[in-house]
Amino acid sequence: MAGITPAQQLFDLTGEVALVTGASSGLGRRFAKVLAAHGAKVVAAARRTERLAELARQSPAIAPLALDVTDTAAIDARLAEAERAFGPLTLLVNNAGIASGRRMVDTTEQEWAAVQKTNVDAVFHLSKGFAQRLIARKAGGAIINIASLVAERVGVSSASYAVSKAAVLHLTKAQAIEWARHGIRVNAICPGFIHSEMTDDYLASPQGQEMIKRIPQRRVGDPSDLDGTLLLLASSRASGFMTGAGLAVDGGHALA
């Protein structure tokens, strides 16, 4: 039986090199800062490069990367650029995503396609490129996909977003079973409603306030509520025997 590892060592990410997408704001920005604070080198990627530059100025362990996750033809080049910052990548956090607030009968073909391309296709292509690099050098690593409460509970979000996040959760399982033999762990975080630029207008609305009353904890999450789950899945010491899991962090919302 292994000895007891102190928490400081359990979540020490020294030696990890992470790529975090959608890092210019919201959860992605928080993820980049938390990983860097625990010893990882972090490539923060997004389209809004001016925000990334400001984030990188806060820590020498964070480097900015201009990345449009829907530009699949450029993924290999962007991954190569990411590795020039701090060396070979060991961790990928697929956080970038968009939402559409329309009901199905009002959703246009273009809106549907845009949500699936950003939320699902990008996760597939980035994860594939990342995994190919790890397999080529016979190195293990980890992927953390950001799914959602609505991956399994419809009715609290638009259909296009809910379907995309359900696909991400199933994609997580498919990636996990295929890549386990290569030492690549793939897990998902399924947040409930978290304060962010994407959600705050809705949460402040009468509909949002009514929804909050139905959450068992009677509150919306703060980005910091995801810190522990992120570190758990990022650390091979803490979650080395976990793959294919989807961890709910939702204040009990899925139970209501």
Give the residue numbers marked as catalytic.
161
Q: Which of 187, 49, 73 minimizes the C-alpha distance to 121? A: 73
CA distance 38 to 20: 15
Region of residue 76 (phi > 0: left; psi between -120 and 50: alpha; otherwise: beta): alpha
Which amino acid, one-letter code, is at 119?
Answer: N
Q: Are 150 and 157 in contact (CB under 8 A)?
A: yes
Count CB atoms within 10 A of the CB of residue 208: 15
Q: Taking the mean position of all CA atoms in its chain, how far away is CA 223?
A: 12
What residues have CB less than 8 Å from 15, skipping those under 6 apart?
Answer: 39, 90
